[in-house]
Amino acid sequence: MKRILGFFVAAVFVIGFFPASSLAGAVTLSYANFPPAPTFPCVQMERWKKEVEARTNGKVVINTYPGGTLLGAKNMMDGVIAGQADIGCLCMAYQPGRFAITNAVSLPLGIPNSTVGSLVLWDLYKKYSPKAFSKVKVLTMFTTAPSNIMSKIPIRSLKDIKGVDLRASGGAAQILKAWGANAVGMPMPATPEALQKGVVKGLFSSLEVMKDFKFAELCGYVTMTDTAVYPFAVVMNMDKWNALPRDVRQVMEELRTQQAAWTGAYMDNHVKEAIAWSKQTHHVEVIELSAEQKAKWDALLDPITAKWIADTQAKGLPAQAVVDDIRAFAAMYAGK
């Protein structure tokens, strides 16, 4: 009896001393994300976690940290490089200069949806291996669906948008400026407060945020422009990556393109749901520009790409080739 009790005490001691994961030989990884849990960057994070845990048969445990609890929108990349989180999800548009090549997908080049945008971005990354990512392992990339205007006031024409304070980041801000709006830059998690306080009269983003951030409660109008997509990356600390068992790395390698495609499809479906929900629940009016108006709005965007090519070429980057590739990849994935 004594011996059994002694064994029991020893077992409790061992279990208490070592976390369950190390007992089972599992690798535990932290995954940081900046927006709240119900938003699409976090939905894709949970899907990736589930897939990795299942495909490695429990060899890997991923602890997720949504809502900026571990790292925020602007220190994500550096935080992962420094090892404050093992994995992090970042929106490249929040640091436009740092991610010049991949941010080119935000140019007005006619990417029609998130599925196409995500596959184009992923191919672009693979082809150019931008220096900005040399210190991390890139686990996947994806884009949002095209951006549209959500506002408290109806915007039906270029006259209506003139001087209106609208929130956007990165390349999308230039698009708003070209239409005459006053672009106010801030990451998405700061937007609900800015809208509530009246710092901005609306925002420019993919429309799933109408539901996920409940912007439909504040913004009664949507003006369809179907322009800039925002690029995202999921990156991993290089030392952590190198320390992973080979079979685990293989699972994550296999998931890179699959996760881009999954997130694109999720986003495209979710945008449709969010528009339907906004109309039904909050009677949001969706404004379609007439063909004549749309032509005027599009024409104002023409100089943006030419200027980007000139500026980026001057930095020694292959800007024209990047733009040509985005157009060609987009046509291919859109089935044209």
Residues 36-55 that bind ligand DTR (CB under 6 A): 39-41
Burial pattern 283-313, b for ≥16 Cβ within 10 A else e, equals ebeebebeeeeeeebeeebeebbeebbeebe
x/- track of binding to ligand DTR for residues 71-100 (CB under 6 A): --------------------x---------
- Per CB under 6 A, the list member of 125, 230, 329, 333 interacting with ligand DTR is 230
Burial of 163 (0-12, 13-18, 19+ CB in 10 A): exposed
Instruction: Count CB atoms within 10 A of the CB of residue 108.
Output: 23
Please give the residues from 151 up to 190 whose contact with ligand DTR meets the rule CB under 6 A: 169, 188
Q: Which of the 8 DSSP states describes residue 113?
A: S
Beta pairing class for 27-32 and 60-65: parallel
- Nearest approach, Cβ of residue 36 and ligand DTR (Å): 8
Residue from 95, 144, 148, 305 that binds ligand DTR (CB under 6 A)?
Answer: 144
- At residue 197, what is the residue type? K
- Considering only 116, 209, 289, 301, the residue that binds ligand DTR (CB under 6 A) is 209
Which residues fall within 8 angstroms of residue 208, CB to CB, at 6 or more apart? 39, 40, 144, 145, 267, 270, 271, 273, 274
Q: Check: CB of residue 87 under 8 Å from CB of residue 80.
A: yes
Please tell me whether residue 206 binds ligand DTR under the rule CB under 6 A. Answer: yes
Under rule CB under 6 A, residue 227 binds ligand DTR: no
CB of 82 to ligand DTR, least distance (A): 22
Nearer to ligand DTR, 30 or 206 (CB): 206
List interacting residues with ligand DTR (CB under 6 A): 35, 39-41, 91, 144, 169, 188, 205-206, 209, 230
